[in-house]
Amino acid sequence: MNWDPTLNQIYELLDHNRYTKAIKLIENQLAKQPENQLYLSLKAVALARSSSGNPAEASSICDKLINAKTPIMNENILRHLGLALKDLTQWDKAVTLYERSFNHLNVPDPRIGEMLFLSLVRCEQFNKQQIVAQKLNKAYPQERKYLFWAIVSMVSGYRSQNNDLMVTVASKQLSKTLDSYRQNPAKVTTEEFGEIVRYHVTLLMSNKDYNGAIQQVLLEDEPFGKTLEPFDRKSLLAECWHKSGGENVSLSNALYIQLLENEK
């Protein structure tokens, strides 16, 4: 579709909350092209946001586009519908919308995948968000955030279900990633590696694997050197020692005292 100058006016009106005028312009265009998905999606946004609008009509338009014969692949239309569904607080419909588009392609579209992932987060559908993150990570391994999304989804599922197995799996996956980065340091910066170490230690402690966490903190991560800042390493180590109990509590207390004195 060629760019219609009227779209600039509509976007301007929406940006300034002038929804009634925006709806009028949109309806003028829909009179000429009643099935135009872009204008329909914009109308849904205006109706959902306007104090004098019609939420039921906005919802009906969203339903029509969500259930279109061919999944919507236009990113602008998807974003418009996402905004309308957000204002209507219909998160489950947003999941259906993005899911159809995401699954329509053999190779995942990262932008649509991210929309789907975030909508699943809002609905607390941990298993599905983990699957989406894993698909994105497999298709785009250079984007390290997708791996972390998958791991965070595992942990969220674990916390919601009190399932110790999930955090163990997440920890093993992260450990495997750490080993991979140690073997090929060009894959990750020292700062990024430090963030992974912190997260791994947190996972180990949440699974009460304090000895594993202690070993991870004490590890000399060559060729990176000690990737954690000295204060971070010591505070994490003190926490691990304290939670592991026994004679380590004395070590923990001594380290806490040292940290407090250094802060004076």
User: 146-172: buried (b, 16+ CB within 10 Å) or exposed (e) per residue?
Assistant: bbbbbbbbbbbbbeeeeeeebbbebbe
Alpha carbon distance 113, 210 (integer Å)? 36
Q: Collect all residues with Cβ–Cβ distance below 8 Å to 136 and sequence separation of at least 6.
A: 108, 110, 113, 114, 117, 143, 146, 149
Backbone angles phi, psi at 188, to 5 degrees: -150, 150
Query: Tokens 């061919």 — which residue?
Result: 70
Which residues have a Cβ under 8 Å from the Cβ of 236 and sit 6 or more positions away? Answer: 198, 201, 213, 217, 228
C-alpha–C-alpha distance, residues 254 and 264, integer Å: 16
- CA distances (Å), 124 to each of 108, 119, 129, in order? 21, 9, 8
Are 42 and 14 a contacting pair, CB within 8 Å? yes
What was the pLDDT predicted at 186?
A: 65
Burial class (CB in 10 A: 0-12, 13-18, 19+), 179: exposed
Per DSSP, 187 falls in state G
Q: Other C-beta atoms within 10 Å of 93: how many?
A: 19
What does the pLDDT profile of the chain (264 residues) look like in tens digits?
566 788 999 999 999 999 999 999 999 999 999 999 999 999 999 999 988 778 999 999 999 999 999 999 999 999 999 999 999 999 999 999 999 999 999 999 999 999 999 999 889 898 899 999 999 999 998 887 788 788 878 877 777 777 777 777 777 777 777 777 777 766 667 777 777 777 777 777 767 777 877 777 666 444 444 555 666 677 777 888 888 887 778 878 887 777 777 655
Between the alpha carbon of residue 160 and those of residues 156, 164, 202, the distances in Å are 6, 11, 17
Residue-level pLDDT at 188 = 66
The pLDDT score that the predictor gives to residue 225 is 46
| Cβ count within 10 A of residue 62 | 27
- Structural domains of the chain ordered from first start: 1-88 (1.25.40)
Cβ pair 72, 62 in contact under 8 A: no
Structure tokens at 240: 């691990």
